[in-house]
Structure 1
């Protein structure tokens, strides 16, 4: 029998907008349940709450007895391995082929041989009709194909609980019917507990054992298909009949809060005399025949469902027809200071999670090398070009100042210390943040809005370990490497400009440099580069993982990543320099 899912008093809001309140239901183990509701009623949010991807403010969501609302992330990651989830847009990993996407959970969580993995993955691809497309990338196939590939991936580990977010979207009627039959056959073969979010009325009438409907921030009805479809509840009957006249309007703002009698005439009909269907009446008079498994397979869940109906153990939950939806409870928006402190705390938490995840196995070495090469390749030329004028300006400024105070012999030492301990680490990290860090933020942001991050969590893989660790370490290693190069280039630039432009003495410049500058100064610069590189990587990852939907969300995250990194670097540099001067007095830092 499939996994158990029990929801008690679940309430979720975003800011001042309440999505739904006090949702309580139990998914019968092994049965198929469909969740309906007008657009914007929070059906996808409800699915993500079941998986622990979104944390409601109140209530419990017990999956196999574990509360996904209060459980630790490690517990949620482990429990999600028992889920199979089809996201609305497939949520395939864009850098992997269709086959690798389907095989990914098997490679991460099983010890099967590559031959066994290929056999299982190809079986699932054949189930969804994608044999011959397995070598293509997600961007090379249609949206409907991506949806079917996502379904194949969700089934590859034989999960106990299967969640499908609008599986019929993007599919033609024939493939929608085939998909419904496939889901029923999977249920018959695995006895998995299924929850399907859909707007397809035909699918809702013929596929599930149970139906539920969200409307105006409430679960207005939930129960067996046989009773749900025969209800005369105005909201349900209007939705199931597709009638334009009734409580449900074009948007939630024009929805009616009470279920009055909505008999009306159609003013667009000649003479305006055609009476529209009254939503208070039943949407159907004859119960549609439920789909049957292919090949005469026995479906144990259908038998249990029939037994529950016969024994009266499957009551229909209905909100009172005259009951208005609960008013939106005012939620105080956090002030700018509180919001800023929250973001600082979240950034600090991500930094700690990254440090803790570094020694964990499997270590993403290949991804680290790829990211290191990328960050270094896009950053080293700009860093070198900035280092030359930076070193020159420092040498010119200090050279002029030392001449005025009669300490020209210290020009070399002062210039080198300024470049090595101050300019080089900051210049290097600013370039990395503006080039590599921005690209990292955009990459993670695009993955976030495509649900790839959520898909990775559902598969039971920590995005911090798989994605954040290699990118942050790449920024660290690139910063340390480029800092050394920038130091050399900056010192040479300062030397030539001091000697050529200011007429300084080469011997005096080199003598002061060798007399006062030490190897420890370079070490200080490298330590700063290491810290700054870590900060740049963490900020880029934090903003990428927190990206809001749409291209604008990605652009905003990239801009915020660069600006926050710049501000943070100068603040941390000030603190580090102050501490160094206190701990090592007499040295310029």
Structure 2
């Protein structure tokens, strides 16, 4: 029998907008449940809440007895291995082929050998009609094919709980019918608990054992299809018939006014609930129950037998929401700008700690770290060198002019070199890394975020921090150390050239003063700053990328924020490190 899913009093809001409140339902184990509702009622949000991708403000979600709301992320990752999830757009990993996308969960969570993995993957691809397309990457296939590839990946581990978000989007009617039949066959073979979000009325009529409907920020009805489809509830009847006349309008904000204008009475419903009934022929209930799909193989579904038994014995009851409760004003918790800023700061600090801890855990994505290191160095080293030359020159010219004025020109070399090594080189290096490599990292993770790839990774039981953040942060740190040395050398040479050639300084005095006053700690503090600054640049870029708002504008805003925040934090941390160094390490006497 499939996994158990029990939801109690679930409430979710985004800012001031309440999505739904006090949702309570239990998915019958092993049965197929469809969740309906007008667009914008939070059906996809509900699915993401079930698997712990979104945190509700109130309520519990028990998965096989474990509360996903309060469980630690490590526990959630383990629980998600029991799920198979199909996102709206497939959420395939763009850098992997269709074959590798489907094989990904098997390679991560099983010890199967590659021939066994290949056999399983090709079997699932054949189920969804993608044999022959396995070598293509997601960018080379259509939206409907991405959806089918995503379904193959969701089914490849034979999960006990399957969540499917709008399986018919991007598919023609024939393939939609074949997909519905496929889901029925999967349920018959695995007895998995299934929940499907859909707008397809034909699929909703013929596939599920149970149906529920979200409307006006609550679950208005939930129960067996035998009762749900035969109800004369005006909202359900209008939605199932696609009738423009009824309480459902073009937007949820006007639905309550349409309900009042059309004139509906309240009649007692089951268990003391109240059902809306029309005074006139606006609501049309179905007179004959549509025939449910059956497995073509002739297999008797164990879940179907249990479902009929529950309906026959009266154990399956139709829930109908209380209309009076629906119209009560519900305060939505809001957070002020300072509180949101503190939350963001706390999230950044938590990500820093998680990154440090995940660095020590296995498996370590060595190949990813090397690729990211090479990428950051490749896009940063030329700009860093070009910027370091004028930095070194300006420092040497300014200090040279000042030392001449006070009669201490013999110390020009020491002052210039120490300024470059301790201050300019780490800052220039990190600014370039943040503006080039960090911006690219943020944009890449942001694009993955809006394509649901990050959520797909979490659903597959893989930590994005360990798989994506750690390699990129270490790459930024390694690149910062390497480029800091390069920038220091180029900056010192630039300062030397301008001091000797332009200002007429003495070559021997320039270097002698540096060797007389410098000490090994002065060189180490520059490298220490590079390591710390590189860590900050990497963590901030990853943090903003992982928290990107939807859409291309969200990605652009995240990139801008990552660069600005890195710059601001960089100068503050530089001040702190420099102050501590000067207090703890005494200078060398001349």
Distance in 2 separating the partners of 1:328 and 1:175:
42
Q: What's the secondary structure of 2:287's corresponding residue?
A: coil
Distance in 2 separating the partners of 1:355 and 1:131:
42
Residue 212 of structure 1 aligns with which residue?
212
Tell me by how many angstroms 1:328 deviates.
3.5
2:375·2:437 contact (CA, 8 Å) conserved in 1? Answer: yes
Residue 539 of structure 1 aligns with which residue?
540
In structure 2, list runs of 5 or more residues that go unmatched.
Answer: 265-277
Note closer, same or farther for the CA distance 1:277–1:36 as it changes in structure 2 (3 Å cut).
farther
Alignment of 1:350-499 (within 5 A): 350-499=351-500
Alignment of 1:160-559 (within 5 A): 160-256=160-256, 259=259, 262=262, 280-321=282-323, 324-334=326-336, 336-559=337-560
Tell me by how many angstroms 1:258 deviates.
7.7
Residue 129 of structure 1 aligns with which residue?
129
Q: What's the secondary structure of 1:521's corresponding residue?
A: helix
Tell me by how many angstroms 1:35 deviates.
0.1
Residue 267 of structure 1 aligns with which residue?
none
Residue 270 of structure 2 aligns with which residue?
none
Tell me by how many angstroms 1:306 deviates.
0.3
Residue 271 of structure 1 aligns with which residue?
none
Distance in 2 separating the partners of 1:123 and 1:452:
24
Residue 71 of structure 2 aligns with which residue?
71
Q: What's the secondary structure of 1:296's corresponding residue?
A: coil
Alignment of 1:131-170 (within 5 A): 131-170=131-170
Q: Deviations over 1:348-394 (max 9, x none)?
A: 00000000000111100000000000000000000000000000000
1:235·1:279 contact (CA, 8 Å) conserved in 2? Answer: no
Alignment of 1:64-103 (within 5 A): 64-103=64-103
Note closer, same or farther for the CA distance 1:407–1:194 as it changes in structure 2 (3 Å cut).
same
Tell me by how many angstroms 1:259 deviates.
4.5
Tell me by how many angstroms 1:325 deviates.
3.3
Distance in 2 separating the partners of 1:417 and 1:284:
84
In structure 1, list runs of 5 or more residues that go unmatched.
Answer: 265-275
2:98·2:135 contact (CA, 8 Å) conserved in 1? Answer: yes
Distance in 2 separating the partners of 1:487 and 1:279:
82
Tell me by how many angstroms 1:256 deviates.
2.1
Q: Deviations over 1:477-505 (max 9, x none)?
A: 00000000000000000000000110101
Q: What's the secondary structure of 1:333's corresponding residue?
A: coil
Distance in 1 separating the partners of 2:352 and 2:578:
22
Distance in 2 separating the partners of 1:320 and 1:512:
85
Distance in 2 separating the partners of 1:88 and 1:325:
31
User: Does 2:69 match 1:38?
Assistant: no
Tell me by how many angstroms 1:254 deviates.
1.2
TM-score by length of 1: 0.96
Tell me by how many angstroms 1:319 deviates.
1.5
Tell me by how many angstroms 1:253 deviates.
1.4
Residue 268 of structure 2 aligns with which residue?
none
Distance in 1 separating the partners of 2:75 and 2:59:
18
Distance in 1 separating the partners of 2:261 and 2:479:
69
2:168·2:198 contact (CA, 8 Å) conserved in 1? Answer: yes
Distance in 1 separating the partners of 2:382 and 2:85:
44
Q: What's the secondary structure of 1:470's corresponding residue?
A: helix
1:230·1:282 contact (CA, 8 Å) conserved in 2? Answer: no
Distance in 1 separating the partners of 2:580 and 2:281:
73
Distance in 2 separating the partners of 1:130 and 1:188:
22
Distance in 1 separating the partners of 2:231 and 2:260:
16
Distance in 2 separating the partners of 1:109 and 1:525:
43
Tell me by how many angstroms 1:190 deviates.
0.2
Q: What's the secondary structure of 2:256's corresponding residue?
A: coil
Greater than 4 Å deviation, 4+ residue runs? 257-261, 276-280
Tell me by how many angstroms 1:519 deviates.
2.8
Distance in 1 separating the partners of 2:216 and 2:261:
18
Note closer, same or farther for the CA distance 1:516–1:327 as it changes in structure 2 (3 Å cut).
same
1:235·1:259 contact (CA, 8 Å) conserved in 2? Answer: no
Tell me by how many angstroms 1:522 deviates.
1.5
Residue 573 of structure 1 aligns with which residue?
574
Note closer, same or farther for the CA distance 1:428–1:315 as it changes in structure 2 (3 Å cut).
same
Distance in 2 separating the partners of 1:26 and 1:587:
73
Distance in 2 separating the partners of 1:373 and 1:277:
71
TM-score by length of 2: 0.96
Q: Number of aligned pairs?
A: 576
Distance in 2 separating the partners of 1:477 and 1:279:
72
Note closer, same or farther for the CA distance 1:578–1:338 as it changes in structure 2 (3 Å cut).
same
Q: What's the secondary structure of 1:535's corresponding residue?
A: helix
Alignment of 1:39-58 (within 5 A): 39-58=39-58
Distance in 2 separating the partners of 1:536 and 1:406:
41
Q: Deviations over 1:421-479 (max 9, x none)?
A: 00000000000000000000000000000000000000000000000000000000000
Q: What's the secondary structure of 1:24's corresponding residue?
A: strand
Q: What's the secondary structure of 1:465's corresponding residue?
A: helix
Distance in 2 separating the partners of 1:110 and 1:552:
39
Distance in 1 separating the partners of 2:358 and 2:10:
32
Distance in 2 separating the partners of 1:386 and 1:536:
18
Q: What's the secondary structure of 2:505's corresponding residue?
A: coil
Q: Deviations over 1:136-170 (max 9, x none)?
A: 00010000000000000000000000000001001
Tell me by how many angstroms 1:337 deviates.
2.2
